């Protein structure tokens, strides 16, 4: 398919704050409504939505939707690849150039949208909402037909340079899972478009290429050295292609993910290949699927990193019997391309590395229905600091017990939640104190909001902040950051709620604000 | 939800109101954490849900008008039907004329067209809604739930809390079947009067996905959208099953019908009871 664009109005209630003049950019997954079909969530049709906000009461919201062509036909590859045009593949293939239904990276009039794991970032010009390039820097071939790229880029302190990882993925062997190769770090100059590529040598004690994938990156300077940190998520793929509905919709052996780590890479312009080291002090923590982050690297002397562990096997595809031994056809809440439910509650970490100081704190909490004001950490998704870096906002997707596949749960004995006691856990937006990583509790419960969409961004300046959430079904909600118990604006758009014969599932994970 | 205390008369009622008021104050002071007032939890064996619904939505680009006939299922003697509505919505009991007329012109039997509904194999009892009310705050809502010993599940209340935050109110009414059931395997099936709700919106807004109440994991729907201009609007969960034109009261409408089964939200595993104070 070719990329297509269409626009729709929202019905807006309340007032769009002046500070929010600009656009919200969201990467959505789209699927058909057939409950009987299972598909890998990474491979959903990607639609990039730009929601333009005109402040006022009533303000105006308009959505422009770009339906992405996964093969990027007619788009350019980077200069390092000869700036050649992508063409229609010669034969049908389960692999794609770009399927950017997950992460959003924004700077200088462009968006780079990414998949959770597969493919290369798609560059889109914000003004025209037209795709311009596919940022693939490595040559795919028959043995390595897919790439993997970092979903959430690292940014230099002045936001001029973006950094992300990219590698090729080798097809699995008979007894070997998918493996990464040609691990690379890409630097993109967002002002000039110049690119630089380094090879990465893994840390000697964390060199397993089967799990060398990196969901998020961050940049910091320490003692005058420029560094990039990569969250090694550790997704372990038994097969590179999505499951074949005729052969392997059945349950299969799942190889468990290892604990996640963080690689630190010191940048050196003179070298072709950079040696990664492990961020020390995290050896004792056994969290899985380290994925999203926000970082306070102001001042150029270290960083405070906030990151979350999902405790979900993010490489897997949901199908087969569930945790309760129910057949898929009896589980009506199934939808095509479902996210993988977590095996247990996750956690949020705060790693403080400033000057000579090093400290790690972790917040981890199950859901207690009798104490809902305490929040939970079931399937953490977003983390976002406010403008003063004093508060951090997190969204948590919750838990839908009937959607956890039995064959995935069986790979994690001793770690999986007790299915006889666990129930539905509602999604949550919660505010934390950025200095302590404790919930920023409030007697009037203004620090949290349940049943909230998980795509979230914080928009603010000079200590005045707004928190904004979005899902196609619920629409856009805007809160004052001090008070998550009162919506200041709500906009809904039926074309996004239900898209012709398909719909947006799962709910988008991330959203970014672009000032107007 | 099952209502355990339909009413109390005279001085006992005054006493009850005072007691409930104290509990609500305590809950509010404790950030609405049920642990502080455990009797706020609904009985974990609650079993009451909307089993099926037949709706006609009329959307003219300015206003959404929704006319609906609900089929409820429940174990117990008395129930309440509660749901968030827009604060500028108008809600009233109405006749089933439009639903019947649409079905007549389509040659449809409404819910009976669906095998899932036919497989219920029972004619629902007619019930009347009574004691209509509107809750404007979480406090009003929890007060009512405690007064009538209905209780609720914390996760469900959180969904309601979010609706209040967004500018909704919660409408509530009660109903009582003539032939109640105490058997979860054969719950009473009840058909309420038609309800009509109207609110201004320049986009079509569908109903939220209902939350599981312990009985029916799925909702059987027939939903018909009538528009004055041709529309490509589709339903978030249901497939399109018919497209046509109908005329109602000298007004021609374009019709799109969506029918099937959709899951409720907040589902839990089999044999797992609702949230309770004993957790």
- What is the per-residue pLDDT for A276? 98
CA distance A132 to A143: 28
Q: What is the rounded average pLDDT of the residues B29-52?
A: 95
Q: What is the rounded average pLDDT of the residues A484-502?
A: 88
Closest chain B residue to A473, measured at CA:
B236
Q: To the nearest whole number, what is the mean pLDDT of chain A? A: 94
Chain A residues in contact with B165 (beta carbon < 8 A): 449, 484-487
Q: Does B166 touch chain A (CB under 8 A)?
A: yes
Q: Does A368 touch chain B (CB under 8 A)?
A: yes
Q: Does residue A97 surpass a pLDDT of 70?
A: yes
- What is the per-residue pLDDT for A502? 79
Name the band, by pLDDT with cuts 50, 70 and 90, for residue A249.
low
Q: Pick from B47, B121, B42: which is nearest to B77 by CA? A: B47
CA atoms within 13 A on the CB side of B33: 17
CB contact under 8 A, B206 and A422: no
- How many domains does chain A contain in total? 1
A253 class by beta-carbon count within 10 Å (0-12 exposed, 13-18 middle, 19+ buried): exposed
Q: Pick from A424, A315, A446, A326: which is nearest to A378 by CA? A: A424
Q: Which of residues 452-471 of A touch B (CB under 8 A)?
A: 452
Express each pLDDT in A274-310 by its tens digit: 999 999 999 888 899 999 999 999 999 999 999 999 9
CB contact under 8 A, B167 and A421: no
Chain B residues in contact with A493 (beta carbon < 8 A): 203
CB contact under 8 A, A487 and B158: no
CA distance A98 to A136: 9
Q: What is the rounded average pLDDT of the residues A467-484?
A: 97
Beta-carbon count within 10 A of B65 CB:
16
- What is the per-residue pLDDT for A248? 55
Looking only at the bridges linking them, the beta strands covering A464-471 and A475-480 are: antiparallel
B121 class by beta-carbon count within 10 Å (0-12 exposed, 13-18 middle, 19+ buried): exposed
Chain B residues in contact with A33 (beta carbon < 8 A): 237-239
A224-227 — which CB contacts under 8 Å span 24+ positions?
A225/A266, A225/A267, A226/A156, A226/A266, A226/A267, A227/A264, A227/A265, A227/A266, A227/A267
Q: Does B137 touch chain A (CB under 8 A)?
A: no
Q: To the nearest whole number, what is the mean pLDDT of chain B? A: 95
- DSSP letter string, B174-227: EE--SS-B--TTS-EEEEPPEEEEEEE-SS--PPPPPBP-SS-SEEEEEEEEEE
Pair of tokens at residue B21: 């008021």
Q: Does A259 touch chain B (CB under 8 A)?
A: no
Q: Does residue A250 surpass a pLDDT of 80?
A: no
- Test mutation, A335, A425, A494, chain B, max B CBs within 10 A: A494
CB contact under 8 A, A324 and B232: no
Identify the DSSP state of A109: T
Chain A residues in contact with B232 (beta carbon < 8 A): 500
A-to-B residue pairs, Cβ atoms closer than 8 angstroms: 142
Q: Does residue B158 surpass a pLDDT of 60?
A: yes
Identify the DSSP state of B98: H
Closest chain A residue to B33, measured at CA:
A371
CA B110 to chain A, closest CA, distance in angstroms equals: 22
**What is the ipTM metric for this complex?**
0.95
Pair of tokens at residue B111: 């819910």
Q: Tell me how far CA of residue A286 lies from CA of A258, A282, A421, A473, in angstroms.
A: 9, 8, 24, 35
Q: What is the rounded average pLDDT of the residues A432-438?
A: 98
Domains assigned to chain B? 10-263 (2.60.40)
- What is the per-residue pLDDT for B279? 77
Chain A residues in contact with B42 (beta carbon < 8 A): none
CA distance A358 to A381: 25
Residue A455 · residue A507 · CB < 8 Å: yes
CA B67 to chain A, closest CA, distance in angstroms equals: 19
CB contact under 8 A, A451 and B267: no
CB contact under 8 A, B266 and A14: no
- What is the per-residue pLDDT for A180? 98
Residue with tokens 């491979």: A43
CA distance B19 to B180: 30
Q: Does residue A1 surpass a pLDDT of 50?
A: no
Residues 6+ apart with CB under 8 A from A473: A497, A504, A507, B236
- CB nearest A493 (choices: B167, B203, B218): B203
- Test mutation, B60, B116, B155, chain A, max A CBs within 10 A: B155
Q: What's this model's pTM, rounded to 2 decimal places?
A: 0.96
Chain B residues in contact with A449 (beta carbon < 8 A): 162, 165
Residue with tokens 């961020």: A279
Express each pLDDT in A5-18 by its tens digit: 888 999 999 999 99
Q: Is the dihedral of CA B3, B4, B9, B10 positive or negative?
A: negative
Q: Which of residues 176-195 of A touch B (CB under 8 A)?
A: none
Q: Does residue A95 surpass a pLDDT of 90?
A: yes
Name the band, by pLDDT with cuts 50, 70 and 90, for residue A384.
very high
Chain B residues in contact with A370 (beta carbon < 8 A): 33-35, 38, 41, 154, 277, 279
Residue A267 · residue A156 · CB < 8 Å: no
Name the band, by pLDDT with cuts 50, 70 and 90, for residue A507.
very high
Q: Does residue A512 surpass a pLDDT of 90?
A: yes
Beta-carbon count within 10 A of A34 CB:
14
- CB nearest A492 (choices: B155, B205, B232): B205
CB contact under 8 A, B275 and A423: yes
- CB nearest B206 (choices: A400, A443, A497): A497
Q: What is the rounded average pLDDT of the residues A191-218?
A: 97
CA A420 to chain B, closest CA, distance in angstroms equals: 6
Q: What is the rounded average pLDDT of the residues A363-373?
A: 97
Residue with tokens 């497989």: B119
CATH number of A66's domain: 2.130.10.10
Q: Is A20 helix (H, G, I), strand (E, B) or coil?
A: helix
- What is the per-residue pLDDT for A332? 87
Name the band, by pLDDT with cuts 50, 70 and 90, for residue A31.
confident
Residue A480 · residue A466 · CB < 8 Å: yes
Q: Does A487 touch chain B (CB under 8 A)?
A: yes
Please provide residue B154's backbone torsions phi and psi, each rounded to the nearest 5 degrees: -55, -40
Q: Is A155 helix (H, G, I), strand (E, B) or coil?
A: strand
Q: Does A490 touch chain B (CB under 8 A)?
A: yes
Q: Does residue A141 surpass a pLDDT of 90?
A: yes
CA B130 to chain A, closest CA, distance in angstroms equals: 30
Residue A475 · residue A498 · CB < 8 Å: no
Please provide residue A43's backbone torsions phi and psi, each rounded to the nearest 5 degrees: -95, 5
Looking only at the bridges linking them, the beta strands covering A483-492 and A4-9 are: unpaired
Q: Does B243 touch chain A (CB under 8 A)?
A: no
Q: Name the least confident of A245-249, A384-388, A501-505, B135-139.
A: A245-249
Pair of tokens at residue A200: 């990465």
Residue B217 · residue A331 · CB < 8 Å: no
Identify the DSSP state of B110: G
Q: Which of residues 395-434 of A touch B (CB under 8 A)?
A: 400-402, 419-426
Express each pLDDT in B188-246 by its tens digit: 999 999 999 999 999 999 999 999 999 999 999 999 999 999 998 889 889 899 999 99
Chain B residues in contact with A499 (beta carbon < 8 A): 234
Q: Give me the torsion for CA of A362, A368, A369, A372, rounded to 10°.
A: -40
Chain A residues in contact with B267 (beta carbon < 8 A): 333, 400-402, 424
Alpha-carbon radius of gyration of chain A: 21
Alpha-carbon radius of gyration of chain B: 20
Chain A residues in contact with B139 (beta carbon < 8 A): none
Pair of tokens at residue A268: 């050196």
CB contact under 8 A, B269 and A323: yes
User: What residues form DSSP beta bridges with A108?
Assistant: none
Q: Tell me how far CA of residue A450 lies from CA of A267, A485, B160, in angstroms.
A: 42, 10, 10
Q: What is the rounded average pLDDT of the residues A148-165?
A: 98
- CB nearest B162 (choices: A401, A424, A451): A451
Q: Does residue A415 surpass a pLDDT of 80?
A: yes
């Amino acid at each position: 398919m070719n990329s297509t664009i269409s626009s729709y109005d929202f019905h807006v209630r309340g007032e769009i704050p002046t500070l929010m003049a600009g656009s919200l950019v969201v990467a959505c997954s789209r699927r058909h409504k057939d409950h009987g079909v299972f598909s890998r969530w990474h491979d959903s049709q990607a639609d990039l939505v730009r929601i333009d906000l005109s402040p006022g009461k009533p303000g105006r919201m308009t959505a422009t939707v770009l339906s992405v062509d996964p093969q990027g036909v007619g788009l350019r590859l980077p200069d390092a690849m000869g700036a050649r045009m992508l063409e229609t593949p010669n034969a049908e293939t389960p692999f794609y150039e770009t399927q950017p239904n997950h992460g959003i990276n924004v700077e200088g009039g462009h968006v780079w949208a990414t998949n959770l794991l597969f493919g290369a970032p798609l560059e889109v010009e914000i003004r025209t909402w037209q795709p311009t390039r596919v940022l693939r820097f490595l040559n795919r071939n028959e043995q390595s037909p897919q790439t993997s790229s970092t979903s959430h880029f690292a940014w230099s302190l002045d936001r001029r340079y973006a950094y992300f990882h990219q590698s090729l993925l080798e097809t699995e062997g008979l007894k070997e899972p998918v493996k990464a190769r040609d691990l690379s770090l890409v630097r993109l100059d967002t002002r000039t478009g110049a690119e630089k590529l380094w090879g990465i040598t893994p840390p000697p004690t964390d060199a397993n290429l089967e799990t060398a994938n990196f969901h998020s990156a961050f940049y910091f300077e320490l003692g005058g050295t420029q560094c990039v940190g990569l969250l090694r998520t550790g997704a372990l793929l038994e097969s590179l292609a999505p499951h074949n509905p005729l052969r392997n919709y059945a349950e299969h052996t799942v190889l468990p993910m290892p604990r996640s780590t963080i690689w630190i890479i010191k940048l050196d312009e003179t070298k072709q290949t950079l040696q990664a080291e492990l961020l020390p002090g995290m050896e004792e923590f056994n969290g899985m699927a380290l994925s999203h982050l926000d970082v306070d690297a102001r001042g150029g002397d270290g960083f405070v990193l906030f990151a979350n562990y999902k405790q979900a096997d993010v490489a897997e595809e949901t199908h087969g019997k569930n945790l309760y031994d129910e057949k898929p056809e009896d589980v009506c809440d199934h939808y095509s391309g479902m996210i993988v439910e977590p095996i247990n509650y996750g956690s949020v970490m705060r790693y403080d590395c400033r000057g000579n100081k090093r400290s790690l704190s972790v917040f981890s909490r199950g859901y207690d229905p009798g104490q809902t004001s305490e929040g939970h950490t079931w399937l953490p998704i977003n983390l976002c600091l406010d403008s003063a870096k004093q508060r951090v906002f997190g969204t948590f997707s919750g838990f839908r017990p009937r959607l956890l596949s039995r064959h995935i749960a069986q790979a994690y004995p001793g770690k999986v939640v007790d299915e006889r006691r666990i129930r539905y856990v509602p999604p949550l937006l919660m505010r934390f104190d950025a200095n302590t990583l404790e919930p920023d509790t409030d007697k009037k419960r203004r620090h949290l909001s349940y049943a909230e969409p998980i795509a979230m961004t914080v928009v603010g300046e000079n200590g005045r902040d707004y928190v904004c959430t979005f899902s196609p079904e619920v629409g856009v909600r805007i809160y004052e950051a001090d008070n998550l118990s009162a919506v200041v604006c709500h906009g809904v758009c039926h074309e996004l709620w239900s898209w012709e014969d398909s719909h947006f599932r799962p709910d988008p994970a991330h959203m970014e604000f672009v000032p107007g | 939800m099952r209502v355990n205390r339909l009413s109390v008369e005279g001085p006992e009622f005054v006493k009850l109101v005072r007691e409930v008021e104290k509990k609500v104050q305590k809950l509010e002071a404790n950030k609405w954490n049920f642990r502080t007032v455990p009797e706020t939890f609904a009985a974990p064996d609650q079993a009451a849900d909307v089993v099926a619904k037949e709706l006609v939505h009329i959307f003219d680009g300015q206003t959404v008008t929704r006319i609906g006939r609900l089929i409820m299922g429940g174990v117990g003697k008395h129930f309440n039907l509660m749901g968030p509505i827009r604060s500028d919505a108008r809600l009233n009991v109405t006749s089933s004329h439009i639903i019947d007329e649409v079905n007549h012109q389509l040659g449809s039997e409404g819910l009976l067209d669906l095998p899932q509904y036919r497989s219920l194999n029972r004619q629902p009892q007619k019930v009347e809604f009574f004691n209509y009310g509107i809750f404007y705050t979480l406090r009003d809502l929890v007060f009512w739930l405690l007064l009538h010993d209905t209780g609720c599940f914390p996760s469900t209340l959180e969904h309601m809390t979010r609706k209040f935050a967004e500018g909704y109110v919660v409408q509530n009414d009660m109903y009582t079947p003539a032939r109640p059931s105490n058997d979860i395997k054969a719950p009473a099936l009840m058909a309420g009067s038609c309800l009509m709700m109207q609110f201004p919106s320049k986009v079509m807004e569908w109903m939220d996905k209902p939350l599981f109440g312990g009985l029916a994991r799925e909702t059987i729907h027939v939903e018909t959208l009538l528009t004055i201009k041709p529309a490509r609007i589709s339903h978030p969960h249901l497939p399109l099953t018919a497209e046509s034109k109908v005329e109602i009261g000298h007004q021609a409408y374009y019709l799109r019908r969506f029918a099937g089964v959709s899951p409720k939200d907040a589902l839990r595993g089999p044999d797992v009871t609702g949230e309770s104070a004993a957790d």
